[in-house]
């Protein structure tokens, strides 16, 4: 039983006892007064009547008249003169008036006044004894009326006391409920500060809770800062802050291989020629400034375009991966122009070259780097700051008819969704080998009878034509229907544009409310980039759907987690770490330390941690050792 309910019961018991006690005392005291009054009346009447009868000198008729006259003056049950000589008594009796008081009340509070008794004599000759007994019906009625009035008055007082108690209890309850919500928020990984109430005792409780929340938030922020520092140490070049070669190559491979990665794009390499000679000529500090300038030029692209990847491959080489096809040549020329305008200011000896190549999803990372190196070699054969680009690949999806044709194909697929849309399933396994759920990306048949294309091929087209909400809604509907059929939990990816669409969220709520049982087996995932760039939309999305039983997660996470300042307020159930963070972790102590710190941070916020894109068994064992809860990828799909 809650504290507030116990307090209400205590107040109710006190009020009832107070009312009952007050009414009882009132009734008992009134009964005593009435009994005393009736006793005094009986005695006074008996004495005065005895005096009158004594003056009649034993005349029966006169005494009968005196007794009758006395009986007519008041409420007397009986007036009786018992003769001293043994003759029959002279008596006058009258029936009692009907009682207004209930019978149970009369039985509960009996009124028993003493009868009045007096001696009647003629001089020294005793004539008898007169006994007077008054009616008590009016006393019961008066006692009943007084009890009812007292009860009503006490109930009114009790009602006023209850209203005052309600105000007081509400004043107590409000800070208690705020403290409970604060504790619940803390359990969910959210840090909420409550107002301190005026009451000293509750103020101390609230102040203590606020202090604990502030300390825990500080610990979380310190842990987040440490995790970010470890991430930079494990994955980044210390001078420029760009990902080093191993991490950049992992990011590029993940961009090519994951279901919703890029279908095609470009790779740009930048080389600073003769770094050792430059060190000797202008000094290490100046050379470092030159390297930092190149990094700044390249880093402007990831900051402006989601999906761009920049990295430092070695002391002299830098790379930039573009997530869209057809941009390599323009980007290479733009980078060459930016370097041409900024680097000569440090020294005329500085020479930089740019090589670029277009790539398709089918190309391996090794082949792609070889082609980019070839382009860079051709650029080095020319003048400083020159750019060389190799021929590119066709547009994504092999659709060369233009944007209008793409839109028609996408709409046709939605129209014939029963045959041209389907989900595939990739297991997510915990460390005991149990399947948590199936990753279920949507695949679309862009041309009737053709192959079912992964999101990398159709999602950019859907985003360009603002159709992601329609496809995501169909994916959720398919997942719910499949869950109803086989009972297996499934995870569906939601595009950032869909998360921000209020109509999509309302439609999704309706789908989930129609199938509440299946909703509890549905996992919804949004990209890390969506939480960074559209925090409020993702937070509102989670708050709208989690009450329906859906689990919310963040996918492709790790690189930008530190930028989500209020990650604990997103309302997430789990986080999937990107393949670029998890690949090769078995061979890097720094990467393991970063993973352990990140897992500890997320577990402190009651979030499950999963790793995606895991292929190597050694990496899997290392991930378990670092505290990761589940993995997915080629290893889990074997």
Rounded CA gap, 479 and 481, in Å? Answer: 5
Collect all residues with Cβ–Cβ distance below 8 Å to 109 and sequence separation of at least 6. 27, 28, 31, 143
pLDDT at 179: 80
Q: Domain check: are 253 and 357 in the same one?
A: yes
When divided into structural domains, the chain yields a total of 3
Among 333, 243, 242, 251, CA closest to 292? 242
Residue 554 dihedral angles phi and psi, to the nearest 5°:
-115, 125
224 domain-assigned: no
Q: What is the DSSP letter of 236?
A: B
Low-confidence residues in the chain, pLDDT < 50: 392-401
207 domain-assigned: no
Query: Looking up tokens 């680009």, which residue turns up?
Result: 389
Does pTM surpass 0.75? no
pLDDT at 403: 59
**CA-based end-to-end distance of the chain:** 52
Q: Domain check: are 356 and 485 in the same one?
A: no
Structure tokens at 491: 């995870």
Where do the H-state alpha helices sit in 264-416? Answer: 275-282, 284-304, 328-342, 365-380, 403-415
101 domain-assigned: yes
Q: Domain check: are 275 and 324 in the same one?
A: yes
Which of 344, 369, 394 terminates a domain? The answer is 394
Q: Domain check: are 322 and 454 in the same one?
A: no
pLDDT at 368: 86
Q: pLDDT tens digits for 592-635? A: 998 999 998 888 888 999 999 999 999 999 999 999 999 999 99
145 domain-assigned: yes
Name the strands in the sheet holding 387-389, side by side, starting at the edge strand that comes first in the sequence. Answer: 309-312, 317-322, 264-272, 352-360, 387-389
Q: Domain check: are 465 and 334 in the same one?
A: no
- 91 beta partners: 80
Q: pLDDT tens digits for 288-311? A: 999 999 999 999 998 887 778 999
176 domain-assigned: no
113 domain-assigned: yes
pLDDT at 272: 92
DSSP string, 49-99: HHHHHHTTTT-HHHHHHHHHHHHHTS-EEEEEEEETTSPPPEEEE-PPPPP
pLDDT at 398: 41
What is the domain-level CATH number for residue 287? 3.30.70.270
Q: Domain check: are 564 and 428 in the same one?
A: yes
């Amino acid at each position: 039983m809650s504290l507030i309910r116990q307090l209400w019961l205590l107040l109710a018991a006190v009020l009832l006892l107070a009312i009952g006690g007050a009414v009882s005392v009132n009734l008992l005291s009134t009964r005593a007064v009435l009994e005393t009054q009736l006793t005094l009346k009986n005695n006074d009447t008996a004495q005065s009547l005895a005096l009158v009868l004594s003056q009649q000198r034993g005349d029966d008729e006169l005494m009968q008249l005196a007794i009758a006259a006395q009986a007519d003056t008041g409420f007397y049950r009986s007036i009786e003169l018992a003769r001293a000589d043994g003759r029959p008594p002279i008596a006058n009796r009258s029936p009692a008036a009907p009682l207004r008081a209930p019978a149970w009340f009369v039985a509960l509070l009996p009124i028993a006044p003493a009868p009045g008794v007096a001696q009647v004599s003629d001089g020294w000759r005793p004539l008898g004894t007169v006994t007077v007994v008054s009616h008590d019906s009016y006393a019961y009625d008066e006692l009943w009326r007084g009890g009812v009035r007292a009860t009503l008055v006490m109930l009114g007082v009790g009602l006023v006391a209850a209203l005052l108690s309600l105000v007081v209890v509400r004043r107590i309850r409000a800070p208690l409920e705020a403290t409970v919500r604060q504790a619940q928020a803390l359990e969910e990984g959210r840090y909420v500060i409550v107002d301190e109430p005026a009451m000293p005792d509750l103020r101390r409780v609230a102040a203590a809770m606020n202090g604990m929340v502030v300390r825990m938030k500080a610990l979380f922020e310190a842990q987040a800062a440490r995790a970010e520092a470890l991430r930079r140490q494990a994955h980044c070049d210390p001078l420029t802050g760009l990902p080093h070669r191993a991490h950049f190559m992992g990011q590029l491979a993940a961009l090519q291989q994951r279901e919703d990665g890029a279908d095609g794009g470009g790779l740009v390499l930048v080389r600073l020629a003769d770094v050792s000679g430059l060190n000797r000529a202008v000094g290490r500090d100046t050379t470092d400034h030159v390297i930092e300038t190149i990094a700044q030029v390249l880093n402007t692209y990831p900051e402006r375009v989601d999906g761009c990847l920049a990295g430092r491959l070695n002391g002299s080489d830098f790379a930039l991966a573009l997530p869209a096809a057809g941009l390599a040549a323009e980007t290479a020329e733009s980078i060459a122009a930016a370097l041409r305008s900024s680097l000569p200011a440090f020294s005329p000896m500085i020479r930089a070259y740019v090589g670029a190549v277009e790539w398709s999803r089918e190309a391996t990372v090794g082949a792609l780097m070889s082609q980019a190196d070839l382009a860079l070699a051709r650029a080095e054969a020319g003048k400083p700051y020159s750019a060389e680009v190799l021929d590119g690949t066709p547009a994504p999806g092999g659709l060369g008819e233009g944007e209008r044709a793409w839109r028609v194909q996408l709409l046709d697929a939605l129209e014939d969704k029963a045959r041209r849309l389907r989900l595939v399933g990739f297991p997510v396994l915990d460390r005991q080998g149990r399947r948590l759920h199936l990753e279920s990306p949507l695949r679309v048949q862009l041309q009737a009878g053709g192959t079912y294309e992964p999101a990398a091929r159709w999602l950019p087209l859907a985003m360009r034509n603002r159709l992601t909400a329609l496809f995501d809604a169909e994916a959720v509907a398919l997942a719910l229907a499949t869950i109803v059929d086989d009972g297996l939990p499934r995870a569906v990816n939601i595009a950032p544009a869909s998360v921000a669409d209020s109509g999509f969220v309302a439609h999704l709520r309706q789908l989930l409310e129609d199938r509440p049982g299946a909703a509890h087996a549905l996992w919804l995932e949004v990209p890390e980039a969506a939480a960074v760039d559209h925090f409020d939309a993702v937070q509102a999305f989670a708050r709208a759907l989690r009450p329906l039983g859906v689990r919310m997660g963040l996918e492709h996470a790790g690189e930008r987690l530190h930028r989500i300042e209020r990650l604990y307020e997103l309302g997430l159930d789990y986080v999937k770490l990107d393949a670029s963070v998890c690949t090769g972790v078995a061979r890097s102590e720094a990467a393991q330390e970063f993973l352990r710190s990140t897992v500890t941070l997320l577990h402190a916020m009651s979030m499950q941690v999963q790793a995606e894109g895991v292929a190597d068994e050694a990496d899997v064992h290392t991930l378990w050792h670092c505290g990761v809860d589940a993995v997915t990828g080629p290893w889990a799909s074997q």
